[in-house]
Structure 1
Amino acid sequence: MKISSIPLPSPLGLWTTVRSVGAFKVACSFAALWAFVKISRALRWRLKTTQLRGPPRTSLMYGVSHDLASSQDSGAMYERWATEYGVAYTIPGVLGRTRIVLCDPRAIAHFYARETWTYVQTPLSLALLEAAFGRGLLWSQGEAHRRQRKALTPAFSNAAIRKLTSVFYDSAYKAKGAWDTIIESSKDGGAVIEVQNWMNHISLDTIGIAGFSHDFGSLHGERASVTELFDTFGNNQQASAVNYVFILIASAFPIITKIPTQRTNLFKKLSVTMGEISDDLLTRSRREKDVNVGERDEEKSIIGLLIKSEGQDAELHMSEEEVVAQMKVLLLAGYETTSISLTWALIELSRHLDVQTRLREELLAFGADPTYDQLKANLPYLDAVVHEILRLHPPLGEFSRLAVADDVIPLSESVRTESGEMTDSISIAKGSLMVVPIKAINCSLAIWGPNAKEFKPDRWLTEDGIGGKAKEVQGHRHLLTFVDGPRACLGKDFAIAEFKTVLLVLVKNFVFEMRDGPDTPVEIARGILPRPRVVGEDGIGVPLRVRRYE
């Protein structure tokens, strides 16, 4: 063959080949660098973190995360592992990641004291919160969180909530009037009422009026766009299960939260809708604000404080984006958490008719509707029932954070490490994922005693009703329901006052029973937060048999 007959590559083809080889080398270099960083971090984490024992991986991909997500009682799983491995242990997470679980009151107190500075939101939490609610109180950290929280604190003082008690009563009596009408139209003096939707309506109308001087009108049957969206969550349980798997994977790769799914699209739509409502409410309130009349009181309302913080000369200035984000967060918190707790209260009272009767007797003996201060101090059994519900059924079952600095966490009792040594403190390396299993702590046999799983309001009425170990838990009334530390729930007293007021009105006027008997099974459905649902019902249905108390 002649040399001249051998085809030579064109200059363009040769350059393309060289460029592709160069690109391949660059890609290999980046891959090697990424692997080196990952391996270095893993080695550092292993060297600086106390290696604890824990349950074995049940899934190569998910660790034990899918088991926890699909369980009807993840708190019992965390508690069982604490019994086996000690008050601090590790669990395998998604794609080889490890999470450190704290089940010790002293360790948890240390953790919460350093929350928002040493322990911060995980990248997944930040991505989801920002997409749904913007950069408000739930999303912010460090100094930004302190500033936003301080700006809102006056709206949740005792003085502010005292003025809002009439709003709580108004919503409760609207529901009572509607139920009276339903029962009057029945033939047997009672009716089956799906109570969870009604608790949703009470909560939404209450936060609308109390927080933003706006009546959503859901107790009168009006269907605002935000209520329709809230009700959509949890109605499709199959889709919710698929989306939860998506979230598990996103815990390792937060960037995939940008991929549209049914749930992420719902959150996006909810964010847009709440943003539009918030903009409308803010525009109206700015327009109606009269600096000469009631300005000092207005500035103590939620929306008044938000408007005040917009001023450039405000001591605790918030941007317009932050103001709208606060309103979104307050709408969600006012709607979700209180309605879930009220629903659980009606379920437990329907299961325990003796407790329901005793509570009604206390309320009737008191007479007229109590004031805010009387609600706090003069109805001990109502207080006991409310806190027993908050203990057994916290709206948030667990709490996850990321360590952004090395730390040493003390323990109240020693644990055995992976190597077999005993230690009374654990070293935490930067980058560690931390978990506080709220429900497990609230219902732990080791902390609350042998009747920890039972609905027993009496435990709150005697000095020895709460054991020594439970008294070591630092949180509202030794509960982690409202978490603790710098990020403890700002609206705690607001929520408890509303909870007590609504429960008081309903129990004084109605008798509640499970539609299918006291042993009717109840399961957990996935809404925005986990919600109760009677087994066999669609969506988040909780039908109870309701009749007037005569």
Structure 2
Amino acid sequence: MISILESTSLSTTTYVSGAFVALGLLLLALRRVFDRRGVEHISGPPSPSFLFGHDYAYACQEEACSLEFQWMREYGATWRTRGAFGRDVLMTVDPKAIQHIMQKSSYNYTKKMTFVHSAWLLSGPGIVTVLGKVHQRHRKIMNPAFSAAHLRTFLPLFQRIASKLSDKWKGELVATGELNALLNRWLSRATLDVIGEAAFNYDYNALDGAGRSPIAKGYEDIFKDVDYLPNKATVLFRATWDYIPAPVLKLIRYIPIHPWTRLRNLNDLFRQYGWRIIREQGPNMDTEKKSTTKDIMSILIKANSSEDPKSRLDDEEIIAEMFTLTLAGHETTSNTLSFLLYELSRHQEYQARMRTEIRGVRARITARGGNEFTIEDLESLTLTMNAIKETLRFHSIVVGMPRVPEKDDVIPLAHPISSTTGEVITEIPVRAGQVIHVSFAGYHRLPDVWGEDADVWNPDRFFRIETGKQTNVGVFSNFVSTAAGVRACIGWRFSLIEMQAFVTELVENFQFDPPAEKVEIQRAFAGFVFGMFPVVKGQADRGGAMPIRISLAQ
């Protein structure tokens, strides 16, 4: 019976993929008849296949971004690759090009349809998937909930949940003296609880051990399950999405095979939570409670009382925003924290310096009669902030983003490159529809921006880097891991304050060491969202993992 089901599933995948590939090839051929211009003169690696180009090799990298790091060394800051069906793709890590694409002309450079639809399958019509004027409406409505002043009010919440995690670890250590933990799993549950309360005034109950909520289990290993090391049929299938009308693409949600069923089940599960939260916090919420609550959801619902359609989100959009905030607001933060503590376990001297700095500020807080770190106290922790910055740079959780110009344009370059004929190129004319892959991870490894030691984790680099003299590309410390311009991550300040609170609590109280069993951590690539997550080399089938030894700090 199982073999029959597997055979049926494989046949369905083959037929559906074949139909989409045939339609995609037809539309691509028609496009090439009417558009002869391109970027063929830009140097780059030879294509291994017309059908797959570099897409399959890129999607199946064991170590995320290893290919673009190699291509950077060979071709400079901008180069050409091939996508599926022989389509030219321009890849760049050039600061001036990134500034132009992500900031100065950001609404001309829209998101690639494959990325948009992948995100839509996960979340629906939220701020990540909508484009143009619809995105402007979403952004305008959501901005007040993410103002710097409002986000500072969440610090006590961050500290309370960080302290709850700390207490759980201390409870484990009473019996054992040492905890061998999968750090990413603990942190994912903690940050899920944070986003539940901060965004929706809702307790996901994720930290409470064996009683984890269904939503926590639903999110677990979502990136590994959906798009880690995809097969060739899946890569080719997704490549056709750029040529298929959006109404047809939406039917993909109903394909009754993995990974589409995994996405649909998680989406359906979250919709159940979303409607429950809307009912509890909608127009009928108690007036006194509504006036005192500070969660993001309440602000969005309050905005929906406006008579101006441009100032409202419908229920489907609100649920999509809730899903987006939950996924982006806890996975990216928890993975960044996991990599930060992993690096501290490998750099004991820096960990000790951080702890000394934190305890020094703690002594000042106690001397003035206080109990908790204020925002100003956290900002004074230079070594802690530098460790966060360096982890955002070296372990970019979002590794890149494809963009497509809606109108012909010219992209300036800070780093001239040589064409296939030896010509020096200082700017690149691009046609409407040209795919441009902006590599965030690659930009974060540029030696002339970050120093000759850009390929190592070294937080002390920020004592010597003057970001004011660099080309401005990002919203925080000149990183592009949170994107930039009008499409920059709306929650980057939220995540930063949350990380400051967690790192301060955990490093003050705990010592982090490599696991007793020697393992190698790899940065696994989740291609459809251009994300990265930790796995143990040779054990990726077990899901995301960051094993670490935890003990009480002396």
TM-score range, shorter chain: 0.7 to 0.9
Q: What do the CA deviations read for 1:399-453 (whole angstroms, capped 9, x no partner)?
A: 1122221111111232222343222111110111110011011122343221001
* 1:116 and 1:141 in contact (8 A); partners too: no
Query: Residue 512 of structure 2: SS of its match in structure 1?
Result: strand
- Amino acid in the other structure paired with 2:544: I
- The alignment's C-alpha RMSD in Å is 2.7
Alignment of structure 1 residues 391-406 onto 2, 5 Å: 391-406=393-408
Alignment of structure 1 residues 72-471 onto 2, 5 Å: 72-113=62-103, 117-186=107-176, 189-221=177-209, 222-233=211-222, 240-242=228-230, 246-253=234-241, 255=249, 257-258=252-253, 259-286=255-282, 289-291=285-287, 295=291, 298=293, 301-311=295-305, 313-314=307-308, 316-367=311-362, 368=365, 369-375=372-378, 377-460=379-462, 462=463, 464-466=464-466, 471=471
Report the number of matched residues.
Answer: 510
TM-score (normalised: structure 1): 0.86
Q: Which residue of 2 aligns with 1:514?
A: 514
- Amino acid in the other structure paired with 1:106: K
Q: What do the CA deviations read for 1:379-417 (whole angstroms, capped 9, x no partner)?
A: 111110000000011111111122221111111232222
How far has the Cα of 1:163 moved from its partner? 1.1
* Structure 2 gap ranges (5+): 1-21, 243-248, 366-371
Structure 1 CA distance, aligned partners of 2:474 and 2:230?
36
Query: Residue 241 of structure 1: SS of its match in structure 2?
Result: coil
- Amino acid in the other structure paired with 2:173: I
Q: Assess, with a 3 A threshold, how the Cα gap between structure 1 residues 257 and 56 changes in structure 2: closer, same or farther.
A: farther
How far has the Cα of 1:60 moved from its partner? 3.7
Q: Which residue of 2 aligns with 1:530?
A: 532
- Amino acid in the other structure paired with 1:506: L
- Amino acid in the other structure paired with 1:220: D
How far has the Cα of 1:147 moved from its partner? 1.0
How far has the Cα of 1:247 moved from its partner? 3.8
How far has the Cα of 1:526 moved from its partner? 5.5
**Percent of aligned positions with the same letter in both sequences?**
26
TM-score (normalised: structure 2): 0.85
Q: Assess, with a 3 A threshold, how the Cα gap between structure 1 residues 244 and 170 changes in structure 2: closer, same or farther.
A: farther
Structure 2 CA distance, aligned partners of 1:379 and 1:48?
49
* Structure 1 gap ranges (5+): 1-30
Q: What do the CA deviations read for 1:476-528 (whole angstroms, capped 9, x no partner)?
A: 212111111110010000001101111111111010101137x7410134567
Q: Assess, with a 3 A threshold, how the Cα gap between structure 1 residues 415 and 536 changes in structure 2: closer, same or farther.
A: closer
- Amino acid in the other structure paired with 1:192: N
Query: Residue 533 of structure 1: SS of its match in structure 2?
Result: strand
Structure 2 CA distance, aligned partners of 1:243 and 1:316?
43
* 1:234 and 1:539 in contact (8 A); partners too: no
How far has the Cα of 1:530 moved from its partner? 2.5
- Amino acid in the other structure paired with 1:336: E
How far has the Cα of 1:350 moved from its partner? 0.6
Q: What do the CA deviations read for 1:216-238 (whole angstroms, capped 9, x no partner)?
A: 1111223222111111435669x
Structure 1 CA distance, aligned partners of 2:232 and 2:332?
20
Structure 1 CA distance, aligned partners of 2:396 and 2:224?
21
Q: Which residue of 1 aligns with 2:61?
A: 71
Q: What do the CA deviations read for 1:60-80 (whole angstroms, capped 9, x no partner)?
A: 432122222222444342233
Structure 2 CA distance, aligned partners of 1:287 and 1:38?
49
Q: Which residue of 1 aligns with 2:41?
A: 51
Q: Assess, with a 3 A threshold, how the Cα gap between structure 1 residues 70 and 540 changes in structure 2: closer, same or farther.
A: same
